[in-house]
Structure 1
C-alpha cells in the first residue's frame, strides 16, 4: 500500500504534530514501528503500531506520551489511543499525520 501522508499546514495540525513529537521524546519502545495522529472536532486520535505484541509497560509508556499530548489542550478535548500489532514487512495504515516511523529493511553497514 502506498499511502499519502498529509503535511498540510493548518494550525491545529501543526500544533498536534509538534505536541506528539515532543511527547514521544524518551517514550519510544524498541518494538514500536510508527505513531500517527489526527483530530476530529475535539477528539485527538493516536495510533501506535508494533511489530510484535506490545508489553503492558510499553503500552503504559506510550499512554504517558498520550497524556502529554492531551495536556497541551483544554477541555472539551479528549484523546483515544489505538495499539496495533502489524508485523514487518506488512505496511500499516496511518492516521492523518505520521509523527514517528522506524527505519525498516535497512542493511547495517
Structure 2
C-alpha cells in the first residue's frame, strides 16, 4: 500500500463531515521494527498513525468522530496493518502537530 492509497482512504473517511472544533487531521504510515522475539515472524507489521487535533471546545462527540474516521481508514487495509489513533486538544492560536500527510487543515481567519 502506498501513501496515495492511505491519503485517499483518510479523505474518504472525513467525507466532509468535519466538526467545527477540528483544526487538523493528518495520517502517516510507519513500519514497526521487530522485537528480538519476532525474528521468525515473516509478516512485517505496519502501523497507520491517525492524528486529529481539535480546539478546546471539542466535545466527546467530536472526538468520537475522529475514532469513527480511524475505523473507516483501517478497514481499507489488511490484517498486516494496525492503527494508532491520536487525538489532541490545543488552544486555537497554537500551531497543531501534524504527521507527514495533512488531510485537513482549518483555514486561519
Q: TM-score higher than 0.5 here?
A: yes
Return the match for 1:46 from 29, 36, 50.
50
Return the match for 2:87 from 73, 77, 83.
83
Partner of 1:67: 71
Residue deviations 1:16-53, cap 9 Å, x none? 11100000014311100000110112100011011115
1:101 aligns with 2:105: yes
TM-score when scaled to structure 2?
0.81
Gaps of 5+ in 2: 32-45
Q: Write out the 4+ residue segments of structure 1 that deviate beyond 2 Å after TM superposition.
A: none
Q: Which secondary structure does the structure 2 equivalent of 1:35 belong to?
A: strand
What RMSD, in angstroms, separates the aligned Cα atoms of the two structures? Answer: 1.3
Pick the structure with greater CA Rg: 2
Whose strand proportion is higher, 1 or 2? 2
Tell me how many residue pairs correspond in the alignment: 95
TM-score when scaled to structure 1?
0.81
